[in-house]
Chains A and B, each alone.
Chain A
Amino acid sequence: MRLTRRAFIKVTGGASLAMASGAFRLPGAVAGPSVTIRLLAHSSYNEDSDKAITKLGTDFAVKQNAAFSGDFIDQPEVAAKLTAEEQAQSGHDIVDLQDNLPTIHKNFLVPLDDVVADITKKYGSFYQIAKDSGYVDGHWLSLPWLGNCELGVYRSDYFAKVGERVPSTWDDLLRAATKLKKVGHPVGIAISQCEDSNAAWYPLLWSFGASVTDSRGRLTIDSPATNQALDYGRKLFAQMEPTVLSWDDSSNNKYMLSGRGAYTINAPSIYLKAKRDKMAFAGSIKHSPPPAGAKGRFYYADIHGWGVFKFSKNIDLAKQLLRSMYTDESQKLFLTLGQGYDMPVLPHFDVNPPYAADPQLRPEVGFSRNAHLVAYPAPPDARAEKAYQTYVIPNMFARAAQSSNIDAIAFAVKALTDIGYSK
């Protein structure tokens, strides 16, 4: 068909008028419900945890004649999403902030002191680790919501086979690891660039008396205690699969669930998966506190809390929703559906959580009382998060396992100095 000049002008002119008058709108640009509370969270290993949050949000929204929309994405992708929304000054009302993130995003977050005051007045104070995460520069910028613990996960049948009991100390673990390797069930702890590796090697470092910094944030990684920890790491690596140097977060789960592994450091997801899939050896997967070193036993947990963006158009409603998530009923629902993967961060709800009925999950009860974030013994800051995200400590142990302590510590000092630490 031949398009005349007159027809062309008619079509393009009409379209321009339609766009100018608003008759034509891009699909999807249509306004939604009058009020929608939008929440962004990490997707939990346990899908029911996400469903619990959605139910709490939806139930609240219905009462408020509003709508609720929960978006759950893989944890590593949350950072990019937060950055984009902060630059756009638009997006979700409530966001999931893990560990050190409240301090990094503090300029964009509404203080939640009033919400926390109401909750603590009724249920008492939060665990210290939860406060470390959410309380920034004199204000609660994140309402602590849950903790994910890192436990010793072991096969009781394999340990019994080699005449060993549950390892209480790192030395116990090394002794057992030598025997377990001989019977074809080596210990497996990631020494690689993944969160599980951070979760294992930071507490080991602390238990030897070493740490990235002192309590004032001054660099202390180059120390005799770090040398001892690296010596230990090298000995343990010799008793493990060499592939631990390239493991990701799913690797130790697969390793244990395949039936080969005898011990790892992980959240209860390995046991919960075996139980859910009715694996024959589910009953043999047990949990224990992380092993102790010469300077004591140290616990590591991830804390997730809720922040409210300053640019949210529903700040008051968002705060009300957060309050409604801290009632006896709400917590019972969340902790029941959480199945033990998610722990409470208020001691009040940690006395007898629903999952404690399972003896294999009892080591979780009270876990958060003595747990620390990676910045320990200093308060959380952006440098600690960057060291965590760039896996400086696992990389240091990996270098020590393959070369020398001097190289490994020099690497860590340089990496941490580049991040912004100084002596």
Chain B
Amino acid sequence: MSTFIFIVYLVPTTLLFIPLARIIAVLHLSNTLWSLIVTYPAFMVPFITWMLTAYLSSIPRDLEESALVDGCTRLSALWRIVLPLARPGIVTATLFAFTLAWSEFIYALTFISTTNLKTVTAGVVVDLIRGDIFYWGSLMAAALVASLPIVLLFSLFLDHYVSGLTAGAVKG
């Protein structure tokens, strides 16, 4: 299953944008931000699923079983035991998903035409390069500003990358 999800993730966006363009046109979402909201899960869901599958499988099943023995239902064991333990993985997956969406280029380029709707990644390239003149000052400033949310998020959640939360949990 995880191999299949991984293979789905490997389909390049430079290929996927072609059928997706048709879907966006049918939904009358061309040149709207909704075109991106609807299509970004196409590459984010496989990525997040693949990432979390690997992380969740590293959480010992014994913990879940212990919770069931202690009176938890399946759902409450997931809620009370597994999800808190998986928090570093969820945070990491969220950060990477955000970074993927933030830096996505080809969908933003092809589905959006109007300058004031463009995402920063597409807008910087499309609007700040004119022929053989590159507006380097503006390009550099835009690249810096665009990188700030990513830097900020990674700085804030750096500690959650530490995935040793489960270490020793099942030992005597």
Nearest B-chain residue to A75, judged by Cβ: B131
Residues from chain A with a CB closer than 8 A to the CB of B134 are: 248, 250
A83 at the interface (CB under 8 A from B): yes
A43 at the interface (CB under 8 A from B): yes
Shortest CB distance B110–A (Å): 4
Beyond A28-B29, A29-B34, A81-B110, is A87–B130 a contact (Cβ under 8 Å)? no
Contact B22 A87 (CB under 8 A): yes
Residues from chain B with a CB closer than 8 A to the CB of A44 are: 130-131
A249 at the interface (CB under 8 A from B): yes
Report the Cα distance A249→B131, complex, angstroms.
Answer: 8
Report the Cα distance A88→B31, complex, angstroms.
Answer: 12
Nearest A-chain residue to B115, judged by Cβ: A71
Residues from chain B with a CB closer than 8 A to the CB of A357 are: none
Beyond A40-B113, A81-B110, A249-B131, is A27–B34 a contact (Cβ under 8 Å)? yes
Shortest CB distance B39–A (Å): 11
Residues from chain B with a CB closer than 8 A to the CB of A43 are: 126-127, 129-131
Shortest CB distance A99–B (Å): 15
Residues from chain B with a CB closer than 8 A to the CB of A250 are: 129, 132-134, 136
Tell which of A123-131, A201-209, A266-274 binds the partner. A266-274
Beyond A28-B33, A84-B18, A269-B131, is A77–B109 a contact (Cβ under 8 Å)? yes
Report the Cα distance A29→B25, complex, angstroms.
Answer: 11
- 1/0 per residue, CB under 8 A from A, across B95-132: the answer is 00000000000100111011100000000011101111
Report the Cα distance A87→B106, complex, angstroms.
Answer: 15
Contact B22 A73 (CB under 8 A): no
**The one of A87, A253, A273 that contacts B21, using a Cβ cutoff of 8 Å:** A87
Contact A71 B19 (CB under 8 A): no
Residue tally, chain A, CB below 8 Å to B: 41
Contact B106 A45 (CB under 8 A): no
Contact A83 B131 (CB under 8 A): no
Residues from chain A with a CB closer than 8 A to the CB of B114 are: 69, 71
Shortest CB distance A285–B (Å): 15
**The one of B24, B110, B133 that contacts A273, using a Cβ cutoff of 8 Å:** B133
Residues from chain A with a CB closer than 8 A to the CB of B136 are: 250
A172 at the interface (CB under 8 A from B): no
Report the Cα distance A250→B33, complex, angstroms.
Answer: 32
Please report the number of residue pairs spanning A and B whose Cβ atoms sit closer than 8 angstroms: 103
Contact B21 A84 (CB under 8 A): yes
Give the interface size class of chain B.
20 to 34
Report the Cα distance A136→B31, complex, angstroms.
Answer: 31
Contact A77 B133 (CB under 8 A): no
Of A28, A47, A85, most B-chain CB atoms within 10 Å? A28
Report the Cα distance A311→B8, complex, angstroms.
Answer: 32
- 1/0 per residue, CB under 8 A from A, across B28-46: the answer is 1111111000000000000
**The one of A26, A80, A90, A267 that contacts B131, using a Cβ cutoff of 8 Å:** A267
Residues of B within 8 A of A (CB): 17-19, 21-22, 24-25, 27-34, 106, 109-111, 113-115, 125-127, 129-134, 136
With A45-B133, A267-B131 already in contact, 17 other A-B pairs whose C-beta atoms are closer than 8 Å: A27-B34, A28-B33, A43-B129, A43-B130, A46-B130, A73-B113, A73-B127, A81-B109, A84-B17, A87-B19, A88-B21, A91-B30, A249-B132, A250-B132, A252-B132, A269-B132, A273-B133
Residues of A within 8 A of B (CB): 26-29, 38, 40, 42-47, 69, 71, 73-75, 77, 80-81, 83-85, 87-92, 195-196, 248-250, 252-253, 266-267, 269, 273, 341
Would you give 23 A-B contacts (Cβ < 8 Å), ordered by A? Answer: A28-B29, A29-B27, A40-B113, A42-B131, A43-B126, A44-B130, A45-B130, A45-B133, A46-B130, A69-B114, A71-B114, A71-B115, A73-B113, A74-B127, A74-B129, A84-B111, A88-B24, A91-B25, A91-B30, A92-B113, A248-B134, A249-B131, A250-B132
